[in-house]
A and B are shown apart, each in its own frame.
Chain A
Amino acid sequence: MQVNETAKEQFRPVIVAFCCNWCSYAGADLAGSSRLNYPADVKIIRVPCSCRVNPLFILRAFERGADGVILCGCHPGDCHYSTGNYYTRRRMTLLFSMLDYMGIERERTRVEWVSAAEGAKFAATMNDFISTVAKLGENRKLRDLRCKK
């Protein structure tokens, strides 16, 4: 039991964050330049707009061993491309129901709106998301047998 407990404590989730170039990526940069800490478990992928994120990318991440995926975009109404994040919102709503159906915990995927001015929100969101995913433990459901031992 003791061993298991330690193993659980040491579990570091793999988290992929998709950030839109105009708001959230800039928000992440602001979190950096304001020196706001959040765990190193999250790795950011820059996309032009949150609507560039194909739900398949998220499934791919889960397949390849990600424990959580977060998608960040501009606040509704503030999209650099006017309407991109509205598409994101609709697509992700559908993806959430699909992930539910597949038995993947809802808390492993998240959509957040972070503006370029919200460095603090970005850091807080990441801290919260990472601790949520860490509590859930490893994602085994979709793991790709090809790439894990």
Chain B
Amino acid sequence: MQKIGVFVCWCGSNIAATVDVKAVAEAAKQQPNVVYATDYQYMCSESGQTLIIDAIKEYGLTGVVICSCSPRMHETTFRKAVQKAGLNPYMLEIANIREQCSWIHKDIKEGTEKAIILMTAAVAKVQLNKPLIAGESAVTKRCLVIGGGIAGIQTALDVADAGFEVDIVEKKPTIGGKMAQLDKTFPTLDCAACILTPKMVDAAAHDKITLYTYSEVEAVKGFVGNFTVTIRKKARYVKENLCTGCGICTEKCPMKKQPNEFNMGLDKRGAIYIPFAQAVPKVPVIDPDACIKLKTGKCGICSKFCQVQAIDYTQKDELIEKKYGAIVVATGFNLIKLDKFGELSYGLCPDVVTSLEYERLMNAAGPTKGHLLRPSDGKEPKTIVFVQCVGSRGNSCKEKSYCSKVCCMYTAKHAMLTKDHYPDTDIYVFYIDVRTPGKNFDEFYRRAVEQYGVNYIKGQVGKVYEENGKVMVQGSDLLSNEQVLIPADMVVLATAIEPDESARKLGTMLTASMDTNDFFTEAHAKLRPVESPTAGIFLSGMAQGPKDIPETVSQAGAAAAKVIGLLAKDKLLGNPCVAHSDEMLCNGCSTCANVCPYGAIEYQNKEFRIPGGVETRRIAVVNEAVCQGCGACTVTCPSGAMDLKGFTNRQIMAEVDAICK
């Protein structure tokens, strides 16, 4: 037999102005099992809470209904209060008579009637509430960072500085990511390598950070605080512990015909290579598709020259299984493929390049040693056309609907840097809008226009084609309403950014939600921007959406703060409102496991005593630490065995009945 107390809050005049709170309290007294009902000006205040606690003690209440603001506002507050009085915190129900009643209705009679019905429904539900105890689970105090670009490095450094172990998994042979490929960075024009490479070294030297380069995440099991991750460490064919990074193997390799990924294919590398001079770790890797020794068994020149016998042609992929408490996704981005943009002649004309290729051409460590030479004939271009929003902000299926965010700024940067080195170059920029929201961003762009005399043309490019050694750019100038045709020497396409191709697969492994563009979704766009809705998964950098380096670094720090907050805990309290299977009704059909998005349902063979013996039956068992309490299984279960604690079938039916009465 329940003893229920009902507490009606005035919320000052927020509720009391449109709801007769005294009438609601009086009506509550007429409800079955209600032994106490009262109203008070501010239930959430210290004195309001004391009122609740005293009443629970005095009347020996077993259930509490509070008619007040939304449970999203003060459910936790009142649960704590109820708990202080010695009652289970889940013996509480809240009737939302503010947001869903007093604030939307003007008529007192109507408002009061509705408030009484909402109170009745909450009373009907609380009659069926059962004490729930949140389960505890231990936290593995280690963090996995997937992706070793600036986002991953920064998160790893921040977490490691707080004293927790961090592993970075990077699929490329070196950490550094896209930032390592950049020349200078806007708006201050620091050289990317000068600010990034010290951080790469810090990460490698940090005693709490372990680097798994040339490795990929193969499988993820478990849940917040207790992830088990399988990492595939791909065969490098070079022993990392022996190699000194002298690089003689890369010089002697006879197979120097491979396109160099780090330079965007603008020059060649050997079959054994170090991606770039400042790579971390500075250990070469053998490309098994190019190496003659691995393909035919002949050659072996690199091992002959290696003075420390670090080359090992028999190396195999290694699978490493480790436990983590938190996982940070920092998988970064790529530029979209331009094969569907035939009108821009990318791939047909070598002098039409992407912005990242242009970065490499400008970079002192790039294929041209920083001399701007066009790829077709190695001559200095005199006229360069930049095309903005290539594949961004479009409506067609080949284009992305979003803004890639960084292109306006880096184009202004490219234009200025080019003008700095080659002042007599003519530069044209075709744009839809110039977007420069950021500290010192607009000043930067204006400098390009006003000081450097870069010609900005509002309009889009319709066609790019080669004619008499020139790249002809045909576009429209919307401001003067004219068609323009520019004979250029080079065209740079500000190509749209998309999430790395590994993101979708990883999202599935992590059960982390993604948007239609494969960017990871945050738990709340404003209030939880670095957490995934899946507990224990955090987001850093471009994997979550296009952003520049300052933003990436701040997000990385924010993600680290969240990770530290999680790892600092010894035990995690779960949500006790989870699914529960009635083993007497369950027939082990697996239907529930098929709809469970978390893999929280397992099956066991259990012995049941039946008349005349023992019967073994397969039954569903919910892992309460994994279950998030969505309730999909409860509706699917054909035998009615599954129910959701805190939102049981009977509780919801009781609410329905109370409302429809």
Interface residues of A (CB under 8 A from B): 14, 16, 21, 25-26, 28-29, 31-33, 35-38, 40, 43-49, 51-57, 60-61, 64-66, 77-84, 87, 91, 123, 147
Contacts and interface: CB of A to CB of B under 8 A. Distances in A.
B635 A43 contact: no
Interface stretch (B146-154, B207-215, B623-631): B623-631
A28 to B, nearest CB: 6
29 contacts: A16-B656, A16-B660, A29-B72, A31-B104, A32-B70, A32-B100, A33-B103, A36-B104, A37-B105, A40-B101, A40-B104, A40-B105, A40-B113, A43-B117, A45-B652, A46-B71, A47-B652, A48-B630, A48-B631, A52-B652, A54-B634, A60-B653, A65-B661, A66-B659, A79-B513, A81-B597, A81-B628, A81-B630, A82-B511
A11 B636 CA distance: 37
Interface residues of B, number: 49
A57 B652 contact: yes
Contacts of B661: 64-65, 147
Nearest to B516: A77
A29 B70 contact: yes
A105 to B, nearest CB: 17
Nearest to A84: B630
Interface of B: 70-73, 96, 98-101, 103-107, 110-111, 113-114, 117-118, 121, 511, 513, 515-516, 521, 533, 577, 595, 597, 628-632, 634-636, 644, 647, 649, 652-653, 655-657, 659-661
A90 to B, nearest CB: 10
Contacts of A78: 513, 521
Contact of B597 (A31, A44, A54, A82): A82
B223 to A, nearest CB: 14
A28 B99 contact: yes
Which of B105, B653, B655 is packed against the most chain A CB atoms within 10 Å?
A: B655
Contacts of A53: 635
Nearest to A34: B103
Contacts of B595: 83, 87
A21 B628 CA distance: 13
A46 to B, nearest CB: 7
A14 B660 contact: yes
Nearest to B653: A60
Contact of B104 (A37, A55, A57, A64): A37
Contact of B635 (A33, A37, A82, A87): A87
Contacts of A64: 656-657, 660-661
A84 B595 CA distance: 9
Contacts of B634: 52, 54
B635 A54 contact: yes
Contacts of B107: 40
A65 B656 CA distance: 10
A35 B513 CA distance: 32
B653 A57 contact: yes
Closest 10 CB pairs of A and B: A32-B99, A52-B631, A81-B630, A64-B660, A32-B103, A29-B99, A49-B630, A40-B114, A51-B632, A40-B110
Contact of B632 (A60, A61, A83): A83
A61 B656 contact: yes
A35 B18 CA distance: 12
Given A47-B647, A51-B635, 5 more contacts: A43-B659, A54-B634, A57-B652, A60-B653, A66-B659
Contact of A45 (B71, B103, B105, B121): B121
A104 to B, nearest CB: 15
A26 B524 CA distance: 12
A83 B632 CA distance: 9
Contacts of A52: 630-632, 634-635, 644, 647, 652
A87 B72 CA distance: 25
B631 A49 contact: yes
Contacts of A33: 99, 103
Contact of A37 (B72, B106, B511): B106
Contacts of B577: 48
Contacts of B630: 48-49, 51-52, 80-81, 84
Contacts of A29: 70, 72-73, 96, 99-100
Contacts of B631: 47-49, 51-52, 84
A87 B660 contact: no
A54 B635 CA distance: 5
Nearest to B634: A52
B424 to A, nearest CB: 52
A121 to B, nearest CB: 14
A49 to B, nearest CB: 4
A83 B597 contact: yes
* Best-buried of B533, B632, B647 by chain A (most CB within 10 Å): B632
A53 B644 CA distance: 11
Contacts of A47: 631, 647, 652
B104 A123 contact: yes
A91 B595 CA distance: 13
A138 to B, nearest CB: 12
Nearest to A65: B660
A101 B577 CA distance: 36
Contact of B100 (A28, A48, A49, A91): A28
Nearest to A61: B656
Nearest to B524: A116
B120 to A, nearest CB: 10
